[in-house]
């Protein structure tokens, strides 16, 4: 499958206006990591109300789902904050955060939102920090080491996982194309809204915490 820049893309997720995600050539897994049976192309619920989650059942039409995309189309690294430590530098793009709490739950001494400077890159061993940052599902957090200012990029298998009660976690540089036909910047880690309530559509902003998605 050809990407927008002419190279080979590992599958594609196309957004249908006020409707589902149309997925082509990407493997789907449930929250426990089990492969779900799909065709080469399938539709994932985006409104959060389907009775056949994670798949679309056209409920978006019945509820007049407003799926307008509101995410900033600019360079996603704009506004990125840098927290430089002795051995590791942590990079943070807040507008990508899905509030999965992987960082704050696993290394609270490093990631503490009650502090004005909420990240302390010297509060834990660099290897421990790198491990936690690499598990940030949205890619809001990244890290760099040594004198290289560029973040270390994980190379993940292309796929989609239905995070329990939360977002679709997309990995491996799968292309996401808006309803207007324009692709979003391709990233190794992306979290897509599946509750229908995000204020940063198509991306997750943690609004699922106020929506009962169940475990579907």
Please state the rounded mean pLDDT for residues 5-9. Answer: 46
Mean pLDDT, the chain, rounded, equals 90
The hierarchical CATH code for the domain 81-145 is: 3.30.70
Is the dihedral angle over the CA atoms 207, 211, 212, 216 positive or is it negative?
negative
Q: Is the pLDDT assigned to residue 8 strictly greater than 60?
A: no
- Placement of tokens 């409104």 in the chain: 47
Q: Identify the burial level of 156 via C-beta atoms within 10 angstroms of its C-beta, where 0-12 means exposed, 13-18 middle and 19 or more buried.
A: middle
**In the structure, what pLDDT confidence band is assigned to residue 9 with cuts at 50, 70 and 90?**
low
- pLDDT tens, 125-177? 999 999 999 999 999 999 999 877 788 888 889 999 999 889 999 999 999 99
The pLDDT score that the predictor gives to residue 73 is 83
Q: In whole angstroms, how far apart are CA 22 and each of 12, 46, 139, 175, 178?
A: 8, 10, 22, 12, 11
> Measuring CA to CA, which residue among 65, 38, 36, 40 is closest to residue 50?
65
Q: Rounded CA gap, 88 and 125, in Å?
A: 9
**In the structure, what pLDDT confidence band is assigned to residue 1 with cuts at 50, 70 and 90?**
very low
Q: Rounded CA gap, 114 and 104, in Å?
A: 11
Domain spans of the chain, in order of start: 81-145
**In the structure, what pLDDT confidence band is assigned to residue 68 with cuts at 50, 70 and 90?**
very high
- pLDDT tens, 169-201? 999 999 999 999 999 999 999 999 999 999 999
> Measuring CA to CA, which residue among 202, 212, 205 is closest to residue 22?
202
The pLDDT score that the predictor gives to residue 158 is 94
And the tokens for 50?
């389907």
């Amino acid at each position: 499958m050809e990407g927008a820049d002419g190279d080979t893309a590992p599958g594609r997720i196309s957004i249908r206006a006020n409707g589902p995600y149309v997925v082509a050539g990407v493997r789907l897994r449930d929250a426990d990591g089990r492969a779900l049976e799909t065709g080469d192309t399938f539709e994932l619920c985006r409104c959060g109300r389907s009775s056949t989650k994670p798949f679309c059942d056209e409920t978006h039409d019945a509820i007049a789902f407003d799926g307008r995309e509101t995410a900033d189309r600019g360079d996603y690294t704009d506004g990125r904050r840098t927290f430089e430590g002795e051995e590791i530098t942590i990079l943070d793009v807040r507008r990508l955060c899905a509030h999965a709490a992987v960082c704050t739950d696993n290394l609270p001494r490093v990631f503490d939102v009650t502090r004005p400077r909420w990240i302390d890159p010297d509060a834990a061993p660099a290897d421990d920090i790198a491990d936690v940052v690499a598990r940030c599902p949205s890619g809001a957090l990244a890290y760099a080491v040594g004198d290289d200012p560029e973040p270390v990029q994980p190379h993940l298998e292309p796929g989609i996982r239905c995070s329990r009660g939360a977002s679709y976690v997309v990995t491996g540089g799968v292309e996401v194309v808006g309803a207007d036909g324009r692709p979003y910047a391709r990233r190794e880690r992306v979290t897509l809204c599946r509750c229908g309530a995000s204020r940063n559509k198509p991306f997750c902003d943690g609004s699922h915490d106020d929506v009962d998605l169940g475990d579907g």
